[in-house]
Amino acid sequence: MHNPPSPQYVTEIIKRLRAAHPDAHCELDYETPVQLLVATILSAQCTDKRVNEVTPTLFTQYPEVTDFAAADRAELEEAIRSTGFFRQKARYIQESAQSIVHKHGGHVPDNMPDLLQLSGVARKTANVVLGEIYGIADGITVDTHVKRLAKRLGLTEATDPQKVERDLMAIIPPESWIAISHLLIFHGRRVCDARNPDCQRCNLNDICPSSQI
């Protein structure tokens, strides 16, 4: 990354985002680690809102990791059809569940290497699970909002999620790694829209290099 932003700038962004979105949190509904893993897999190329519409019935149908592992694939596909890419997601969910049952004693792994071995789990999903379930900040969750805002705010020039994550990890204090994703996602949804960013209403507009004011 060229000319990384100053620590003061980064600190100010985090402070203002915390003030603007004190309620920032993971918006996927879940009660168990397996449910969060499944919901995060479903959230690829799909809104959290849509996932939350599908999961109550899904989690009633498949209450335990063993139920996902032993599911009839066609029935599982049907249950998640509206989230898109349902065949691929059903395979990921079932294969991950089988690995959790057979290799991890029925428990969702609590470390990055083991999570990345699960079917369909890349760093984004692993970071969500580690941060939410175990409070472990091994990295920073980079979704479309985080990627877009990090670039607009001059925190990275990268477009590849892994490079964006690496750039953010280099400048954001580790104690804010979990929070920064939620803050940027909430800001992206509420203020900094992809097509029409509401710079007028943004509390970063006087320091943001992309501000249109």
Considering only the C-alpha atoms of the chain, give the largest distance between any 2 of them, rounded to a whole number of Å. 56
Candidates 36, 25, 16; CA nearest to 108 is 36
Residue 14 host element (H or E): helix 7-20
Of 138, 143, 147, 167, which is the active-site residue? Answer: 143
* DSSP letter (8 states) at residue 7: H
CA distances from 112 to 57, 117, 145, 146 (A): 29, 9, 23, 20
Candidates 191, 157, 150; CA nearest to 172 is 150
Catalytic-residue membership of 143: yes
Catalytic-residue membership of 49: no
Instruction: Count Cβ neighbours within 10 Å for each residue of 69-86 and write b for 16 or more, e otherwise.
Output: bebeeeebbebbeebeeb
Of 48, 89, 124, 147, which is the active-site residue? Answer: 124
How far is Cα 99 from Cα 5, in angstroms, rounded to an integer?
A: 42
Backbone angles phi, psi at 74, to 5 degrees: -65, -40
Backbone angles phi, psi at 166, to 5 degrees: -60, -45
Which active-site residues does the annotation give?
Answer: 124, 143
